[in-house]
Amino acid sequence: MDQDKIMDCVDNVPSLSPTATKIIQVANNMNASANELVQVIKMDPVLTGKVLKLINSVYYGMPQKVVSLGRAVILLGINTIKNLALSTAVLGAFKQKGKLGAFNMNLFWEHCLGCGVGSKLLAKSQGVSKMQLEEYFIAGLLHDIGKMPLVQFDHEAYDKVLKVMEDEPERDEAEIEEEILGTTHTKIGGLIADKWKLPEPLKESITGHHNPTITGTDFSIKIAVHLANIDCNRKDFGIVPSRNVEFTEEVLEAMEMTDVDLELALAPLEEEIELAKVFLKLGN
Ligand SMILES: [Fe+2]
Ligand SMILES: [Fe+2]
């Protein structure tokens, strides 16, 4: 793929709805108030309905039914509502289901959901505050977003990538993509993040989830997504089964974590994915 084709591929990615764009603006503005956010979401009644449906799903296990966004913000915090609205809007932008060539969209979204859930479980185990957890979830949900336009643009070429990945499980995914497509899903994902003006930590986990640069010992969103992605592949929540992946030694050392710590933190993964499937059932 030459540079023009790459740009065409990214141009094909749908724009986010005006509401989603405004939510991102609010999200990027540190001084925005909860009320501002509620007003933005409320402008879109369908989105409001979906956010309330999520909040009242078993995944969030609220003791009482939440009937208004204002109440939801009080109970769950502005950050949670912001990220829920954003997840819903982004999922809505990609309506495709079923299969495109060998690429199974349903499995793909299940993988993304698994990474969101896993990343959040890891954040919980690291004592990340409740208010920040949804940030980890959405980062996992979106980490492979660059694959969507690649598959939609030329699914025959992407089929070749999948075939080589299956035949040569030891080989690096990015290397295979680069060889066959002339680009990678993380690069395309970064361009989408720019197009949608996604917040920086989200962009970082989209572009850096395969080879996260480690600075200090901070448990960043990018690190959580990186580890959750590996765990999902190990547990076959992936579009290419049986890839041989181990947790990255360097990351474990920097985070002072062991395989056992990770296994414990991620033990509820399957169960939580089942509960979180409500995200994929929102319909469009
Ligand atoms: Fe990836
Ligand atoms: Fe992934």
Residue 259 lies in a domain: yes
Distance, CA 74 to ligand 2 centroid (Å)? 33
- Does any domain span residue 157? yes
Ligand lying nearest the CA atom of residue 243: 2
In the reported structure, the alpha carbon of residue 143 is separated from the centroid of ligand 1 by a whole-number distance in angstroms of 6
Q: Ligand 1 centre from 60 Cα, in Å?
A: 27
What is the pLDDT, as a whole number, of residue 188? Answer: 96
Structurally, how many domains does the chain consist of? 1
Report yes or no: 263 and 246 within 8 Å, Cβ to Cβ. Answer: no
The whole-number pLDDT of residue 113 equals: 94
CATH number of the domain bearing residue 227: 1.10.3210.10
Report the C-alpha gap between 171 and 231 in whole angstroms.
Answer: 18
On whether the CB atoms of residues 174 and 147 are closer than 8 A, the answer is no
**284 within some domain:** no
Whether the CB-CB separation of 72 and 66 falls below 8 Å is answered with yes
- Please tell me the number of the ligand nearest to residue 173's CA: 1
Residue 100's SS3 state is: strand
Of the listed ligands, the closest to the CA of 114 is: 2
pLDDT reported for residue 80: 87
Q: pLDDT (tens digit, 9 = 90+) per residue, 196-235?
A: 999 899 999 999 999 888 877 778 999 999 999 999 998 9
- CA of 144 from ligand 2 middle (Å) equals 5
**Averaged pLDDT, 260-278:** 94
Q: How far away, in angstroms, is 23 Cα from ligand 2 center?
A: 25
Question: Counting ligands in written order, which one lies closest to the CA of residue 107?
Answer: 2
Q: How far is the CA of 71 from the centre of ligand 2 (A)?
A: 34
| Domain encompassing residue 133 | 3-279
- Distance, CA 2 to ligand 1 centroid (Å)? 21
